[in-house]
Amino acid sequence: MLLSERVMSVRPSGVRKIFDLAKKVKNPIDLSIGEPDFDIPEEIKQEGIRWIQAGFNKYTPSGGIPELREKILRKLKGKGIICDDVIVTAGVTGGLLLALMVTLNPGDEIIIPDPYFVLYEYQVQLLGGKPVFVDTYPDFTIKEELLRKAITKKTRIILINSPNNPTGMVCSRAELEMIARVAREKNILVFSDDIYDRFIYDNGDSERTYLGQLYEKTLTFGGFSKTWGMTGWRIGYVAGPKEIIQCMVTMQQYVFSSINSFAQKAAVRALDYNVDNLIEGYKRKRDMIYEGLKDKYRVVKPRGAYFIFPEVPGGNGDKFVEKALKKNLFIIPGSVFSARRSHIRISFASSEENVLKGMEILRSMA
CATH code for position 119: 3.40.640.10
In a shared domain, residues 248 and 304: no
The mean per-residue pLDDT over the stretch 241-249 comes to 98
> Residue 16 pLDDT > 70, yes or no?
no
In a shared domain, residues 35 and 79: no
The answer for 47, left when phi > 0, alpha when psi is -120 to 50, beta otherwise, is alpha
Specify the DSSP element, H or E, that contains 330: strand 329-330
Three-class SS state of 240:
strand
pLDDT band at 348 (very low <50, low <70, confident <90, very high): very high
pLDDT band at 208 (very low <50, low <70, confident <90, very high): confident
The mean per-residue pLDDT over the stretch 205-228 comes to 91
In a shared domain, residues 233 and 291: no
Q: Which residues contact 1 (CB under 8 A, 6 or more apart)?
A: none
Query: Do residues 35 and 225 lie in contact, with contact meaning Cβ atoms separated by under 8 Å?
Result: yes
The reported pLDDT for the residue numbered 207 is 66
Better pLDDT: 103 or 203: 103
- Residue 167 to residue 347: CA distance in whole angstroms: 10
pLDDT band at 206 (very low <50, low <70, confident <90, very high): very low
The reported pLDDT for the residue numbered 15 is 65
Three-class SS state of 132:
strand
pLDDT band at 34 (very low <50, low <70, confident <90, very high): confident
The answer for 168, left when phi > 0, alpha when psi is -120 to 50, beta otherwise, is left
pLDDT tens-digit series, residues 315-347: 999 999 999 999 999 999 999 999 999 999 999
End-of-domain residue from the set 270, 290, 310: 270
In a shared domain, residues 135 and 93: yes
Ordered DSSP codes for 177-234 = HHHHHHHHHHT-EEEEE-TTTT-B-SS-GGG---HHHH-TTEEEEEESTTTS--GGG-
End-of-domain residue from the set 229, 244, 270: 270
SS3 letters across 108-120: CEEEEEECCCHHH
* CATH number of 361's domain: 3.90.1150.10
Residue 244 CB-density burial (10 A; 0-12 exposed, 13-18 middle, 19+ buried): buried
Domain range for residue 88? 42-270
The reported pLDDT for the residue numbered 32 is 92
Amino acid identity, position 203: N
In a shared domain, residues 234 and 319: no
End-of-domain residue from the set 219, 239, 270: 270
Domain count, the chain: 2
The mean per-residue pLDDT over the stretch 23-35 comes to 84
In a shared domain, residues 352 and 249: no
Three-class SS state of 258:
coil
In a shared domain, residues 155 and 257: yes
In a shared domain, residues 131 and 159: yes
Query: Do residues 236 and 225 lie in contact, with contact meaning Cβ atoms separated by under 8 Å?
Result: yes
Q: How far is residue 285 from each of residues 85, 194, 208, 328, 359, measured CA to CA in Å?
A: 37, 21, 21, 20, 11
The reported pLDDT for the residue numbered 110 is 98
User: To 5 degrees, how large is the angle CA 88–CA 235–CA 344?
Assistant: 125
